[in-house]
Amino acid sequence: MGFLDKWQPQLLSVLRIMSGLLFLEHGLSKAIGWPMAFPGKMMPLVMVACAIEIVGSVLVTLGLFSRYAAFIMSGEMAVAYFMVHVPKGGFYPILNGGDAPILFCFVFLYIAAAGPGPWSLNKS
């Protein structure tokens, strides 16, 4: 048994909370230009992404319907990687700046599968 095994449930909650808060910044930058202005245009697909990022991030951070929200956000990040980043510089993330979308995609997919952890508003 590893020395962190007993903390696994709590660390899952910490991963969920921190990922949700970090992802919220992306939605807020699109919606209100905070903490930085969104560099692109607010086209309809970007507005949908903005809504997913804000609503989903709040749900994931609070641990409320987090499995569903995380699954949707994982899919959004997969779509963003292939629609936005691959055309910029090929398939490899180091060339196209897609490291964050790939990490978010798989972290949210893990949260969708593992659940919210013990520090959540519900266990969905």
Domain ranges of the chain: 10-114
pLDDT at 119 over 80: yes
Distance CA 75, CA 112 (A): 11
pLDDT, mean of residues 19-33: 97
Burial of 114 (0-12, 13-18, 19+ CB in 10 A): middle
Distance CA 119, CA 107 (A): 17
What integer pLDDT is reported at residue 94 of this predicted model?
A: 94
pLDDT at 21 over 80: yes
What integer pLDDT is reported at residue 107 of this predicted model?
A: 98
pLDDT, mean of residues 1-9: 90
Distance CA 52, CA 71 (A): 11
Nearest to 107 by CA among 117, 119, 97: 117
Considering the entire predicted model, what is its pTM? 0.94
What integer pLDDT is reported at residue 124 of this predicted model?
A: 54
Residue-wise pLDDT tens digits, 34-89: 999 998 888 999 999 999 999 999 999 999 999 999 999 999 999 999 999 999 98
